[in-house]
Amino acid sequence: MPDNVVATGVGGMPWLSSNLRLRIVSGAVLAIVAFALAYAGPLPFAVLVLVCALVISWEWGRLVRGATFDFGYFVHAAAVTTAIVLAAAGYAALALAALAIAAIILVPLYVGRGARLSALGVFYVGLPAVALLWLRSDEPFGFAAVLLIFAVVWASDTAAYAAGRSIGGPKLWPRVSPNKTWAGLIGALCAGGLAAAVIAVLEPEAGPARLILVGIALSLVAQAGDLAESALKRLFNLKDASDLIPGHGGFMDRMDSIVAAAVAAALLALAIDPHAPARALLFGV
């Protein structure tokens, strides 16, 4: 997601800049589409995940190899597509195996950093896709589990941006992302906890205190995912993965936090109850 920098806005409100307004509009459109397809059921949601995954696979090759539709992209895309189909059909373990095979295939195709990062990209795109579909498939709580992840990330993203612009202050990690601030991080964690509290209201059986802690933890992981993507872009001297989404950059720039949060949520659910992951994420043991 874009840096939470301080900037002059409209009417003395630095957080209400033209870029933020554009970001809110495009983000709202994406959120509505994601919410609608997640609510519609596991299969429509799988289609959404597949489209996003293929675009991010393209952005990954563009970023780490300076190529778009090269052979590496087609291996990457085929693996991610196979994994998503398998996960949607209920074979999450086989989906992970497909990702591992593709990563092994990609390594000898390139040399040095390109080989390592090309293989890593398969997992970067594939793991969160499988995680989201695994959680969504656990009815009747799959939608609520996915909504929890989305709500925490979206709230954290917006709060980090707004708090960073309006408050400013010390930088979070200047070498990796020179414009992100501690104020933005604190705002993100507060917003993540608040978003989880709202989900707890919608799911009365969920313990509010526990779910708020889960929200804060996922928010923290999401911010780490954002920093990791910033570090990758900095490695290649790029500001955005692409310019496909107005105000956000590319799909990677928008999904970096969800990538990390989805994998973390799935690991938490796996540790609690792998047979009912959505219920485990929402309600615990």
**What are the residue boundaries of the structural domains of the chain, listed by start?**
18-283
The CA–CA distances, whole Å, from 100 to 81, 120, 275 equal: 13, 10, 23
Alpha helices in the chain (DSSP H): 18-40, 42-64, 71-88, 92-106, 113-136, 142-167, 182-202, 208-235, 251-272, 277-283
Specify whether the CB–CB gap between 265 and 225 falls below 8 A.
no
Q: Name residue, tokens 């890593």.
A: 120
| Closest listed residue to residue 119, CA positions, set 128, 107, 108, 127 | 107
Supply the mean pLDDT for the chain: 90
* Residue 130: predicted pLDDT: 98
Torsion of CA 276, 43, 27, 195, to 10 degrees: -20
Q: Whole-model pTM?
A: 0.90
Task: Give 182-236 pLDDT, tens digit per residue.
Answer: 999 999 999 999 999 999 999 988 889 999 999 999 999 999 999 999 899 888 8
* pLDDT mean over 163-183: 84
Query: d(Cα 124, Cα 120) in Å, to the nearest integer?
Result: 6
Task: Give 85-106 pLDDT, tens digit per residue.
Answer: 999 999 999 999 999 999 999 9
* pLDDT mean over 27-36: 90
